Amino acid sequence: MSLVHTIHFSPATSSSRRFPAHSAASLRWRVFPVRASLPFPTQKAKYHRELEAAVGIVERACRICVDVQRSLLSSVGGIVEKKDNTPVTIADFGVQALISLELGKLFPSIPLVAEEDSGFVRANNLVDSVVSVVNDKRSSSEPLSDDVVLEAIDRGGSAAYLYGKSPATYWILDPIDGTKGFLKGCGALYVVGLALVVEGEIVLGVMGCPNWQNSGDSLGSVMIAHTGHGTWNKTLQVSNDWSRCLVDGCSVVPEARFCIPESQSWDSLPLSRSFTAKNDADSLGDNEIHLLTTCCGSLCKYLMVASGRASMYIQAQRDTAIKVTDWEGGELDLAADQVERRIIYPPGGILVTNGKIHDQILEMISFSSSTV
């Protein structure tokens, strides 16, 4: 069964690179000894070692988030705003530093594309706090200096690496997606997201969500995907309780469960011309659809679709550039930003579905756009 079906965008303009893009050749010939800690065999997963490492690193990063969240909600001074007025905390920088350090140690030739840079840490007097949380959660007991931690943050910064036109190999990190939810506390959802791109194609991804409610009473989830091996989920900080994730079986749009961003209204989307949205699934009438109210403020919306809790996620384009997919069905080109690999330029917006209703939604969007 298809796991998460997405549509994509066209390439942007060209630019030069500062360093040669890393080739995936070394990833292909290396043979790695691994532990049986993932749900598929080593010999059938080309990037098994990279994925196994990513899972462990993301889990440690989630522990940073949980610890920092507790301290932030009981103190003052750990929250600042970036130029776009979005909040950022010592957890964002701590997660980026930790993951940069660990990936740099294990895979030194693969660059990292992340969000933050150390200049912001220095300017807002966060150095001591960030270094402290990183030293507390890293794999080695030897404490790191301020300079080492700040350099690790900058390894993922915008000035660290320029790629050029050719497909490249690199890690992509969102240290905390859903910082506003992170700051709310009270079980609000946020995600630590990490993926590996090899020669322009995403080959694996890991999402850690400390407040994700699992099917039982447990809290916290790690969801992984590896090319050719589907999507899997396990309880955060619990070893090897992997279960396969499958999308829902909905094949008719009116019966689908929808997710949209918390920052957008249903009326702002083209489907609103065909359907009215209601939150109560038990009171739906003609031309009404079920709009879910949870998990829509971060990467959790992708977890919703991948796990079968939602049939689709749709988002209109925002005023600023967004970083995934569009409404026109083109091939995904992660090199649209040929300098830094940070931004893509999708026309329309984002659409993620279970695959069964994807073409139907595309037709509705196209028809709605043509009649405006």
φ, ψ of residue 233 to 5 degrees: the values are -140, 145
Residues 6 or more apart in contact with residue 366 via CB below 8 angstroms: none
Q: Tokens representing 287?
A: 């031309």
Q: In angstroms, rounded to a whole number, what is the distance separating the alpha carbons of residues 308 and 248?
A: 4
Q: Quick one: 33 exposed, middle or buried, by C-beta within 10 A (0-12, 13-18, 19+)?
A: exposed
Q: In angstroms, rounded to a whole number, what is the distance separating the alpha carbons of residues 192 and 173?
A: 8
Q: In angstroms, rounded to a whole number, what is the distance separating the alpha carbons of residues 54 and 206?
A: 7
Name the active-site residue from 89, 92, 231, 337. Answer: 92
Tell me the residue type at 317.
Answer: Q
Q: Strands, DSSP E only, in the chain? A: 5-6, 79-81, 87-89, 112-113, 170-177, 191-198, 201-213, 219-226, 231-235, 243-244, 257-259, 276-278, 288-291, 312-316, 349-353
Catalytic, 179? Answer yes
Q: Which residue has the tokens 């209601």?
A: 278
Name the active-site residue from 179, 231, 325, 353. Answer: 179
Q: 3-class SS at 290?
A: strand
CB count, 10 Å around CB of 279?
10
- Is 67 labeled as ligand-binding? no
Catalytic, 320? Answer no
- Helix, strand, coil percentages (3-state) for the chain, rounded to 5, are 30, 20, 50
- Is 241 labeled as ligand-binding? no
| Angle, CA 145 vertex, CA 139 and CA 147 arms, to 5° | 115
CA 304, distance to chain mean position in Å, is 13
| Angle, CA 5 vertex, CA 221 and CA 305 arms, to 5° | 35
- Is 177 labeled as ligand-binding? yes
Q: Tokens representing 248?
A: 């829902």
Tell me the residue type at 73.
Answer: L
Residues 6 or more apart in contact with residue 246 via CB below 8 angstroms: 1, 3, 308
Q: Catalytic amino acids? A: 92, 179
Known binding-site residue numbers for Mg(2+): 115, 174, 176-177
